[in-house]
């Protein structure tokens, strides 16, 4: 579903509700977007992608539109490789273990023809005590084009972005943000539901430690969806209501009439006995099973950013539900979204 | 090296301010050598002064007792790369501070008579701001065994504290208070319940949630205070709570003061002039301990100052080198410099109409000096000529002094427009800082 189908409706409703200036603004805006499309430019003009917070609906839509085109491209069997980023160097700098996100970025870079290098923590000099700033200086000297960074500390990616010359993509920083995950979730939903605004999205699980939750809360608020968080009080950060969410402590009320449920991973090693008494207890109240699913809309989607703990936060059968589970699709959208982000950021550098 | 003070100096045409006695009026002051001989309203016409008296024409500027700062961190011995004693003294005299009390968190810790004497000797050799020291309340600031408080006090320690660490164990605190009471000493606490503050790097709340940083709840302060105040009731010892930052902490203290317990507290300029929003964008220079709180707490601290609930304002000077600050927020060190800006930011209370000039000055002179029984912070015939000459209205902008030095001079107040400039700082009758001389130097 492309948003161009949406925009005439938006314009009409605006026209009906209010006066001409807004109509003209919407018209000019639409016109501007078309120009951008013709000239192969994106409305997303930032140098880095560090967070969802601070982005506008138009910027997010334009990222999703571009990603949408790559979904089709990636499904072609014959030749998946493009050479849009031929000669560019993309480096995955991961200070935290990751297989899925790193592979996804690596694949996205390679599909666009870039040279992709992985720098995992185990072999990097951070473990030898090098500071983040020194790492930035070292990387600068290598003339990279895009740096994908994952770091266990919130704000570390922002700090690094201030010190390097290349474009930086936040691949997850501490408990702050994971913007590409939110974008891929949004793309998955938009393709299934045709829209984002007006949907009810329930995010369930360890909100306290989740950067995925923060990015998604931001994104869905920006796009006009309603966000609910469902978790025991111990797994909710203070002041979360100020981010524009409804708080629920009961799956039955939290999921009632919702369009989407996003289950978050429960890290057993960190959780048990501290934030929750046991996995058994957690699953009985907050684990997703068919009984709890029944109160949602019939066509509701089930999502999970992975990796899943089957039987911890989600019942195995629910995770594999052919009709409603889009967990596999999320992974597919991940590559497309990352291709779009890489391409747009490299283009923005050229300008 | 300290030079002996020169003869008689008369400061004339000044606006004399002495918060301790409420004196505020045009007048003059005569110092002979290290001491004040006389001062008063309408005193000293140049022709009436004895032969050989040097005359300093104050041109209507304010002449007040030098500032007394009862909480600052000295980085020598042990952390010279953060700041030397000389550096701290320079910052102090530039800010009009003539006496200051350092925390025992040096390396080695000030839990031994030798370290107290080391600090005293360094200060004497440098001959700028007078430095007093707190002794450690527990050995090595470990919070387990009591330090030799009696001997330390005899060597010159003016109070006892574990510095930037709270005395967490209730039994240790009870014994520290009881033992200190034996010698009539004061225990100074950093009120923060460690188990609630564990892992926290900023104030708990919406901003922390947005930034994905672990928060320290406001109740971490009030819970430890409530426990301590109950122990004070039990032991009857003198207790001082350092850098109060929350509304609920102040409320807890107010109740104790209403009961008539021997308790006092201070706050730092950060906590009444900044709030947690200074941390947005992960600004590590605004990472402090206790953290900058929400706007409601900031206003409560301001109100506490106005009502006289808070007895003193301290600089909470805690210099950090650049390498400790240029890190991801949660790894960065806490603290910032504060000596140079102590007067100017305190004067915001006066400029914004919260209190009179004298009341604001009282919080940085006689107020803190009285708490620890220091002979400072007041104009006294025969007392030490520790003075500050300043203009309360001169506007300037706080600029980080990063003149090629690895040692950080950055403060959370950088780029803040403030009012109130120190023109001259006099310690024991000697002019140790003069703005006009500093200006000439920099030309």
Query: Which one of A132, A175, A243 has the shortest CB-CB distance to B327?
Result: A132
Other beta carbons within 10 Å of B260:
8
| Strand, helix or coil for residue B140 | helix
The three-state secondary structure class of A171 is strand
pLDDT at B143: 95
Higher pLDDT, B46 or A57: A57
pLDDT of the residue at A153: 92
Helix (H) or strand (E) holding A46: none
Does residue A123 surpass a pLDDT of 70?
no
Under an 8 A CB cutoff, do A158 and B211 touch? no
pLDDT bin (cut points 50, 70, 90) of residue A35 is: low
Q: Do A174 and B212 touch (CB under 8 A)?
A: yes
**Mean per-residue pLDDT over chain A, rounded:** 88
Q: Is B342 helix (H, G, I), strand (E, B) or coil?
A: helix
For A239, the closest of B209, B214, B327 (CB atoms) is: B209
* Residue A322 C-alpha, separation from nearest chain B C-alpha, in angstroms: 35
Q: Which residues of A touch B210 (CB under 8 A)?
A: 53, 214, 243
3-state helix, strand, coil in chain A (%, to 5): 50, 15, 35
Cβ under 8 Å to A: B residues 238-297:
281-282
Provide, as residue numbers in chain A, all residues whose Cβ is less than 8 Å from the Cβ of B281.
158
What pLDDT sits at residue B436? 82
Q: Within 13 A of A146's CA, how many CA atoms are on the CB side?
A: 37
> Domain for residue B343, yes or no?
yes
Does position A208 have pLDDT exceeding 70, yes or no?
yes
Question: Does residue A264 register a pLDDT over 70?
Answer: yes
Which distant-in-sequence residues (6+ apart) come within 8 Å of A280 by Cβ?
Answer: none
The chain B residue lying nearest A236, using CA atoms, is B209
Contacts of A214 in chain B (CB under 8 A): 209-210, 212
Which site among B276, B295, B328 would you substitute to test the A interface, given the most A Cβ atoms closer than 10 Å to its Cβ? B328
Higher pLDDT among residues A52 and B325, named by residue: A52
> Chain B partners of A237 at a C-beta cutoff of 8 Å?
208-209, 215
Reported ipTM: the value is: 0.88
Q: Check residue B143 and report its DSSP letter.
A: S
Query: If DSSP states are collapsed to H, E and C, what string results for B408-435?
Result: CCCCCCCCCEEEEEEEEEEECCEEEEEH
**pLDDT tens-place string over residues A223-257:** 999 999 999 999 999 999 999 999 999 999 999 99
B215: helix, strand or coil: strand
| Domain presence at residue B53 | no
Give the Cα separation of A17 and A11 in Å (integer): 10
Closest residue in A to B322 (Cα–Cα): A133
A239 with B329: Cβ contact below 8 A: no
Which residue in this structure is represented by tokens 């501070």? B97
User: For A279-322, how does the pLDDT look when each residue is reduced to its tens digit (9 = 90+)?
Assistant: 899 999 999 999 999 999 999 999 999 899 998 899 999 999 99
**Pairing between β-strand B62-65 and β-strand B387-397 as defined by DSSP bridges:** antiparallel
> Which residues of chain B make contact with A131, given a CB cutoff of 8 A?
323, 326-327
Would you tell me which residues 320-359 of chain B have a C-beta closer than 8 angstroms to some C-beta of chain A? 323, 326-331
Give A168's strand partners.
A147
**Interacting residues of B90 by C-beta distance below 8 A, sequence separation 6+:** B128
Would you say residue A268 has pLDDT above 60? yes
The SS3 assignment for B81 reads coil
User: Is A207 in contact with A231 (CB distance < 8 Å)?
Assistant: yes
Partner-chain contact A238 B331, CB within 8 Å: no
Q: Contacts of residue A153 in chain B, CB cutoff 8 Å?
A: 328-331
Decide if A20 contacts A210 (C-beta within 8 A).
no
Establish if B273 belongs to a structural domain. Answer: yes
pLDDT at A174: 93
What's the pLDDT score for residue A119? 86
Return the closest-CA partner of residue B237 out of B290, B167, B306.
B167
Give the model's pLDDT for residue A36: 54
**What are the average pLDDT values for consecutive 10-residue runs of chain B, which has 443 residues?**
69 94 94 93 75 89 97 94 92 96 96 95 94 97 96 96 96 96 94 95 96 96 97 96 97 97 97 95 94 97 97 96 90 93 96 96 97 95 96 91 57 92 95 79 44
pLDDT at position B157, please?
96
Taking contacts as CB-CB distances below 8 angstroms, the residues of chain A near B199 are: none
Are B208 and A175 inside 8 Å of each other by CB? no
What b-and-e string marks burial along B166-205, b requiring 16 or more CB atoms within 10 Å of the CB? bbeeeebbbbbbbbbbeeebbbbbbbbbeebbeebbbbbb
Whether B255 is in a domain gets the answer yes
- Per DSSP, the residues of A146-168 read EEEEEESSTTHHHHHHHH-SSEE
What is the rounded CA–CA span in Å between residue B169 and residue B173? 6
- Phi and psi at residue B374, in whole multiples of 5°? -80, 145
pTM of the model: 0.89
B344 in a domain, yes or no? yes
Asked if B405 is an interface residue toward chain A (Cβ–Cβ < 8 A), one would say: no
Does residue A129 carry a pLDDT above 70? no
Within 10 Å of residue A142's Cβ, how many Cβ atoms? 11
Determine the pLDDT at residue A125: 56
Residue A30 reports pLDDT greater than 70: no
CA dist., res. A171 & res. A50, Å (int): 8
**Cα–Cα distances in Å, from B345 out to A15, B61, B96, B338?**
53, 18, 13, 10
Task: Domain of residue B118: give its range.
Answer: 66-377+393-418
CA-based nearest residue in chain B for residue A177: B212
Tokens representing B254 are 């107010």
Whole-angstrom distance, CA of residue B240 vs CA of residue B246:
16
Task: Report H helices in B236-294.
Answer: 247-258, 269-273
Nearest-Cα distance to chain B for A164, in Å, is 14
Tens digit of each residue's pLDDT (9 = 90 or more) over A61-75: 999 999 999 999 999
Q: Which of B138, B73, B127 is nearest to B101 (CA)?
A: B73
Contact A242 B206 (CB under 8 A): yes
- Tokens at residue A320, please? 């594999």
Residue in A with minimal Cα distance to B282: A155
Question: To the nearest whole angstrom, how far is the Cα of B281 from the nearest Cα of chain A?
Answer: 8
The shortest CB-CB distance from A240 to any of B209, B326, B328 is to: B209
Beta-strand ranges (E) seen in B292-339 are 312-313
Domain with residue B240: its CATH number is 3.20.20.140
- Asked whether residue A11 carries a pLDDT value surpassing 70, the answer given is no
For chain A, list residues whose CB is within 8 angstroms of any CB belonging to chain B: 53, 131-133, 151, 153-156, 158-159, 173-177, 211, 214, 237-240, 242-243
| Size of chain A in residues | 351
The single-letter DSSP state of residue A125 is G
CA distances from B425 to B88, B176, B434 (A): 15, 37, 6
Range of lowest pLDDT (A12-26, A29-43, B105-119, B145-159): A12-26
User: CA separation (Å) from B109 to A153, B75, B76, B147, B324?
Assistant: 31, 11, 10, 11, 20
Q: Among B162, B316, B321, B428, which one carries the catalytic annotation?
A: B316
Q: What is the pLDDT of residue A2?
A: 43
What totals of helices (H) and strands (E) does chain B contain, helices first? 15, 19
pLDDT at B1: 44
On whether residue B413 sits in a domain, the answer given is yes
Q: Which of B:179-218 have CB within 8 Å of A? A: 204-215, 217
Residues on chain A touching B327 (C-beta within 8 angstroms): 131-132, 159
* Rounded Cα distance, B386 and B427, in Å: 4
Find the closest chain B residue to A174 by CA distance.
B212
Q: Which residues contact A182 (CB under 8 A, 6 or more apart)?
A: A52, A212, A215, A216, A218, A219
d(CA A168, CA A166): 6
* Residue B443 placed within a domain: no
Q: Is residue B414 part of a domain?
A: yes
Query: What tens digit of pLDDT does each residue of A138-187 get?
Result: 888 999 999 999 999 999 999 999 999 999 999 999 999 999 999 999 99
Determine whether B316 is an active site residue: yes
Contact between B327 and A131 using a beta-carbon 8 Å cutoff: yes
> In chain B, how many domains are there?
1
What is the per-residue pLDDT for B254? 97
């Amino acid at each position: 579903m492309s948003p161009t189908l949406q925009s005439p409706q938006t314009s009409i409703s605006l026209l009906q509700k209010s006066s001409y200036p807004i109509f003209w603004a919407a018209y000019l805006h639409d016109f501007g977007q078309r120009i951008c499309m013709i000239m192969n430019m994106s409305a997303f003009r930032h140098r880095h992608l560090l967070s969802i917070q601070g982005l506008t609906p138009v910027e997010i839509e334009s990222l999703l539109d571009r990603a949408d085109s790559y979904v089709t491209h990636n499904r072609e069997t014959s030749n998946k490789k493009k050479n849009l980023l031929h000669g560019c160097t993309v480096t995955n700098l991961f200070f935290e273990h990751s297989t899925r996100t790193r592979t996804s970025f690596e694949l996205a870079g390679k599909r666009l023809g870039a040279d992709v290098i992985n720098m995992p923590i185990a072999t990097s000099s951070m473990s030898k005590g090098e500071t983040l700033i020194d790492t930035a200086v070292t990387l600068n000297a290598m003339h990279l084009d895009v740096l994908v960074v994952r770091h266990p500390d919130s704000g570390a990616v922002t700090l690094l972005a201030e010190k390097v010359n290349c474009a930086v993509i936040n691949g997850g920083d501490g408990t702050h943000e994971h913007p590409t995950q939110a974008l891929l979730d949004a793309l998955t939903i938009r393709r299934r539901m045709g829209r984002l605004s007006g949907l009810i999205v329930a995010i369930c699980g360890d909100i306290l430690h989740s950067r995925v939750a923060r990015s998604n809360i931001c994104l869905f608020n920006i796009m006009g969806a309603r966000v609910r968080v469902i978790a025991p009080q111990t797994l909710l950060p203070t002041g979360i209501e100020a981010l524009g969410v409804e708080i629920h402590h009961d799956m039955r009320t939290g999921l009632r009439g919702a369009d989407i449920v996003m289950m978050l991973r429960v890290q057993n090693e960190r959780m048990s006995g501290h934030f929750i008494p046991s996995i058994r207890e957690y699953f009985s109240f907050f684990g997703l099973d068919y009984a709890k699913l029944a109160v949602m809309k019939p066509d509701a989607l089930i999502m999970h950013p992975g990796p899943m703990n089957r039987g911890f936060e989600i019942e195995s059968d629910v995770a594999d539900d052919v009709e409603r589970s889009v967990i596999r699709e999320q992974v597919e959208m991940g590559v497309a979204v990352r291709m779009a982000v890489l391409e747009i950021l490299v283009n923005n550098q050229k300008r | 090296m300290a030079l002996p003070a020169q003869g008689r100096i008369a400061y004339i045409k000044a606006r004399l301010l002495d918060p301790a006695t409420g004196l505020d009026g045009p007048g003059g002051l005569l110092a002979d050598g290290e001491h004040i001989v006389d001062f008063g309203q309408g005193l000293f016409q140049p022709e009436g002064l004895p032969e050989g008296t040097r005359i300093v024409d104050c041109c209507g500027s304010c002449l007040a007792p030098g500032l007394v700062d009862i909480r600052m961190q000295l980085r020598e011995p042990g952390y010279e790369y953060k700041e030397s004693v000389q550096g701290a003294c320079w910052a102090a005299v530039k800010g009009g501070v003539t006496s200051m009390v350092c925390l025992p968190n040096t390396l080695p810790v000030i839990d031994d008579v030798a370290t107290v004497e080391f600090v005293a000797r360094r200060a004497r050799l440098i001959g700028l701001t007078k430095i007093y020291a707190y002794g450690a309340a527990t050995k090595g600031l470990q919070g387990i065994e009591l330090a030799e408080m009696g001997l330390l006090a005899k060597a010159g320690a003016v109070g006892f504290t574990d510095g930037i660490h709270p005395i967490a164990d209730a039994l240790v605190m009870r014994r520290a208070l009881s033992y200190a009471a034996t010698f009539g000493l004061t225990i100074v606490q950093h009120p923060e319940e460690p188990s609630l503050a564990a892992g926290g790097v900023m104030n708990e709340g919406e901003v922390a949630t947005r930034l994905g940083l672990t928060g320290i709840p406001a109740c971490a302060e009030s819970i430890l205070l409530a426990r301590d105040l109950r122990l004070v009731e039990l032991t009857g010892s003198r207790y001082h709570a350092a850098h109060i930052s929350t509304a609920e902490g102040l409320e807890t203290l107010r109740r104790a003061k209403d009961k008539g317990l021997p308790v006092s507290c201070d706050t730092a300029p950060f906590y009444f002039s900044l709030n947690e929003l200074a941390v947005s964008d992960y600004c590590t220079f605004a990472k402090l301990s206790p953290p900058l709180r929400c706007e409601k707490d900031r206003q409560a601290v301001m109100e506490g100052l106005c009502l006289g609930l808070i007895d003193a304002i301290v600089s909470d000077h805690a210099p950090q080198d650049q390498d400790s600050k240029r890190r991801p927020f949660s790894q960065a060190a806490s603290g910032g410099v504060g000596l140079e800006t102590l007067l100017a930011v305190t004067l915001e209370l006066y400029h914004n109409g919260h209190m009179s000039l004298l009341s604001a000055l009282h919080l940085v002179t006689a107020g803190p000096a009285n708490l620890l029984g220091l002979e400072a912070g007041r104009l006294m015939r025969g007392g030490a000529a520790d003075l500050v000459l300043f203009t309360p209205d001169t506007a300037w902008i706080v600029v980080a002094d990063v003149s090629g030095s690895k040692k950080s001079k950055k403060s959370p107040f950088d780029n803040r427009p403030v009012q109130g400039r120190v023109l001259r700082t006099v310690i024991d009758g000697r002019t140790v800082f003069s703005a006009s001389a500093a200006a000439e130097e920099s030309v």
